[in-house]
Amino acid sequence: MIFKFPISKIDKIILERFRDILIKYNYTYDYFQTVKINPFAFTQFDLPLFAYRFPETLSFGILFHLFLLGAKLDKKIVGKIFDAEFTEQLLKIKILEKAGDNHIQSAVTIIPYQSFYFAADFIFRLDNRQNNKPKYEYVYPVSLDSITLCDALIKKSVNSVLDLGCGCGILSLVASQFSKNVTGVDLNPRAVNFSRFNALLNGIDNCEFLQGDLYRPIKEEKFDLILSNPPYEITPKKTYLYKDGGKYGYLILKRIMKDVSKHLKRNGFCQVINRIVQFNNEKREEVLKNWVAPDKLRILFIELQKIDIYQYAYLISMDNLICEDKTLDYQKYSGKIVELLDFFHKIHLTDTSLGIFNLTRDTRFTFTEQNFDITHQSAAKLQNVIQMHFSSKILQILSYFYRRIFDS
């Protein structure tokens, strides 16, 4: 049986108490920042270092071992944080699970982000166990791409947000802070189950989550804001639902773009993080214009990172090696690199750019690309660049003078 939360049996009070305990023992986003551990980007090579640094003798260490390292702990050690009765309750709602007679482990990883907690599937566990790990229906934990899109969000107060491919629910829950209602959709029923759980865990009740294919579950509905971090890797063969972008990587992006106009309100806005692929002599503008025709959009693509095919082959192969191939088979790794590069040459891929599409409906099609150095510039600056592009000419001029006065 593939793991799922028993949503209807979950008592909110238990989750409130669970959160309070996480906060009490510093299992928080702020504390991770203080100790300079990035919970959105680490590899299995980091785990032994982390385990040594935060041993189970510390209260924080127990939570860290359970929820970040996926370790199996003696019941007595877990008892130092969760008393016997509460441990039973956490076992019942399936946050914790038994690992033999005397040991307990967490069924899911729990990643803090700002004031939120997000449960998702573990990428790796300290001792490499893979029990219960679903392949195709794996639920992607909060990661750098989701966080980058959160940084770019234009957090204007709105009535409705649609999150396409909601996964563990990160974009929906963040948007629930500035939108009256949020709808998250995911093809993966487990992702819908995790999003519902995470809304409960964070005490959020203005989000609904629907299972289905992109816009299908929302029928004709229109939204003020559409967000998405869809699958976007080039995957010649089916791998995971969360990353399968098909042979050219843009399978889902193309479908999002094609129908986005129909689901945006008049002044609606859409933000999508994606990797766009560049093929020989192909003009991005023309490709996008054809995808959305006859609709007209004003698109700003903020390019965050451009990489060539060699860097891209390395990235995909390392990801496979780290996340999937636990044996770290070097022969397999080099074989994969050659196979990928041969494939990239065959499809005439030249490079790929990770970036954020920002768009609105318009009376004519326009496409603008702009680079942004995310490592050296703030999230506020990124939001400003996006807002400026979409503000009216008068506002742009006013804002230009305003900044000149205050910068001088």
Ligand X SMILES: C[S@@+](CC[C@H](N)C(=O)[O-])C[C@H]1O[C@@H](n2cnc3c(N)ncnc32)[C@H](O)[C@@H]1O
> Which residues are at the interface with ligand X (CB under 6 A)?
140, 142, 146, 165-168, 170-171, 185-188, 191, 213-214, 229-231, 241-242, 252
Closest to ligand X by CB, 168 vs 226, is 168
Q: How far is the CB of 191 from ligand X (least distance, A)?
A: 4
Contacts of residues 13-21 at CB distance under 8 Å and 24 or more positions apart, as own/partner, are 14/86, 14/89, 14/90, 14/93, 15/93, 15/200, 15/201, 15/203, 16/203, 17/86, 18/90, 18/95, 18/201, 19/117, 19/201, 19/202, 19/203, 21/63, 21/81, 21/82
Closest to ligand X by CB, 117 vs 367, is 117
Q: How far is the CB of 186 from ligand X (least distance, A)?
A: 4
Closest to ligand X by CB, 146 vs 183, is 146
- Phi, psi at residue 204, to the nearest 5°? -105, 130
Q: How far is the CB of 42 from ligand X (least distance, A)?
A: 16
Closest to ligand X by CB, 165 vs 355, is 165
Closest to ligand X by CB, 107 vs 170, is 170
Residue 219 CA, distance from chain mean position: 24
* Structure tokens, 255: 């479908």
Q: How far is the CB of 263 from ligand X (least distance, A)?
A: 13
Q: How far is the CB of 133 from ligand X (least distance, A)?
A: 15
For 61-80, give one letter per residue: b (16+ CB within 10 A) or e: bbbbbbbbbbbbbeeebbee
- Per DSSP, 126 falls in state T
Q: Which residues contact 343 (CB under 8 A, 6 or more apart)?
A: 234, 236
Q: How far is the CB of 16 from ligand X (least distance, A)?
A: 24
Closest to ligand X by CB, 167 vs 355, is 167
Radius of gyration of the chain, Cα coordinates, nearest whole angstrom: 22
